[in-house]
Structure 1
Amino acid sequence: MSAPIRVLLADDHRIVREGLKQVLADAPEIEIAAEATSGAEALAAVQASGGPPALHVVLLDIAMPEGDGLDVLQALRKGWPMLPVLMLSTYPERQYAVRCIRLGAAGYLNKGADPDDMIAAVRKVAAGGRYITPATAEQLAGALDRDRARVGHEALSHREYQVFRLLTTGHNVTEIGARLQLAPNTVSTYRARILEKTGTRNDVELALYAERHARGDPAA
């Protein structure tokens, strides 16, 4: 029997972790080496393991407390560039897949993905490949075409996009500052840039903009 694929499973919802473990249990060569319930725990677990070769894949939720999943992804890419990170989310691919791949993720999976696809994704990234669905591949191609003239939410920096996502899910400036460890006036500056880049005037218009593009914009 070949050596096991050792996986770190990072998700703050226990029921999700248990479901993922049940799915991966169908592949005898995949082993859950560690679990984390926050971004900080995920980084600590990788640090404790020493990364590869003791750990082969990180399954990382995007919406994590104590460290946004995208920030954790960037930290992992910087500290352990040879450790594949497979992003997990309840968000549709069109909202996050391209952004995750651009930040260095080895793949993007919706938590509702078919179990066989989940197992195939872990196997592929553990072997050094990338797991990109046809839908994500199409979005990547479209994104490349638009790179010369980025507009709206596509023009947002990584940090601006984090603030954008939190604003449009009902968080206020103070809450966003606490979550991202930023001063409220810094968040307000990001908010002003976001309104300018999206052509909106206030949080209500911004929420409507986000809803419109979440439904229909493949590059969101």
Structure 2
Amino acid sequence: MTPRGLDVLLVDDHAVVRSGVRLMLGDAPDIHVTGEAASASQAISLVEKQHFDVALVDIALPGRNGLDLLQALRRQNPGMAVLILSTYSEEIYAIRALRLGAAGYLTKDSAGATLIEAIRKAANGLRYVSPGLTERLAGMLTGAPSGSHENLSNRELEVLKMIAVGKSLVDIAQLMHLSPKTVTTYRTRILEKIGVRTNVELARYAAENGLL
């Protein structure tokens, strides 16, 4: 924290989103957006040059996704808190992000007051957890249950979501810059971990668990 307050880094590939977040934070005199990045590489470069107390990171970044960036930033600067601010619902990524070291998870429809509260908590070494997520965490104190998407790696979760919306393995391979054989291996692991046998059952699981 600098004498003037909290320095915040915004990481989102949409300029209009960054502008909106800046406006939301304008009501907090102790919070200042002192850096913006449109990609993971830009964020890493800024953190090498500047001090930030908190980074607000989107998951859907071009190239390297926000969860990978979260881990990289935590290694690069353990003293900087990282909050995930995403369009995806808590059910998909929140617990995964917290396990990777995020100081909190917020959706982009969060109120400005909530975002300000989360940044202040994160800067003070605390975690921001919504009431709904608190209930989910209470039910998972012994770890992710068998047959849960929480057991999937980040890559496996991406593949699951694409299979669930009907993309072919060839399409997925092209989108993720992988070989079809690798994607087939991911699919096999996903089916085993979730405890289903077909793509139809996988799509049903995704729909029932809010992954789409």
TM-score over 0.5 for the alignment?
A: yes
Change in 2 beyond 3 A, CA 1:166/1:57 = farther
Q: 2:207 aligns with which of 194, 205, 211?
A: 211
Question: Residue in 1 aligned with 2:180?
Answer: 184
1:127 alignment counterpart: 124
d(CA) in 2 for partners of 1:14, 1:179 = 24
- 8 Å Cα contact 2:81/2:102 also seen in 1: yes
2:67 matched to 1:70?
A: yes
Correspondence list, 1:75-114, <5 A? 75-114=72-111
Answer yes or no: is 1:14 the counterpart of 2:25: no
1:38-57 matches, within 5 Å, as: 38-49=39-50, 54-57=51-54
1:24 to 2:25 alignment: yes
In structure 2, the partner of 1:151 is 147
The answer to whether the 8 A contact 1:85-1:106 is kept is: yes
The structure in which a higher percent of residues are helix is 1
Contact 2:11/2:58 (CA < 8 Å) preserved in 1?
A: yes
Letter in structure 1 aligned against 2:96: R
Contact 1:67 1:180 in 2 (8 A): no
Matches of 1:178 and 1:82 in 2, distance apart? Answer: 37
Could you tell me whether the CA contact under 8 Å between 1:9 and 1:35 is conserved in 2? yes
Structure 1 position 170, deviation (Å)? 5.0
Letter of the 1:45 partner, please give it: L
- Please say which of residues 75-84 and 173-182 is displaced more in the overlay: 173-182
Give secondary structure in 1 for the equivalent of 2:28.
coil
- Preserved contact between residue 96 and residue 150 of structure 2 (Cα < 8 Å): no
Counterparts in 2 of 1:88 and 1:40: CA distance versus 1, 3 Å = same
Read off the aligned partner of 1:97 and give its amino acid letter: A
Range 169-178 or range 17-26, more displaced: 169-178
Q: In the superposition, relative to structure 1, how do residues 202 and 44 fare at CA in structure 2: closer, same or farther (>3 Å)?
A: farther
What runs of 5+ residues in structure 2 fail to find an aligned partner?
Answer: none
Q: Structure 1 residues 47, 188: CA separation in 2 closer, same or farther (over 3 Å shift)?
A: farther
Q: What percentage of aligned pairs have identical amino acids?
A: 45
Q: Find the residue that maps to 1:96 and give its secondary structure.
A: helix
Counterpart Cα distance in 1 of 2:85 and 2:53:
16
Cα distance change of structure 1 residues 164 and 48 upon mapping to structure 2, 3 Å threshold:
farther
Alpha-carbon distance in structure 1 between the residues aligned to 2:26 and 2:35? 14
* TM-score of the pair, normalised by structure 1: 0.84
Measured after TM superposition, the shift of residue 80 of structure 1 is 1.6
Q: Output the amino acid matched with 1:212.
A: E
State the superposition RMSD in angstroms.
2.4
Identify unmatched segments of 5+ residues in structure 1: none
**Which runs of structure 1 show a deviation greater than 6 angstroms over 4 or more consecutive aligned residues?**
none
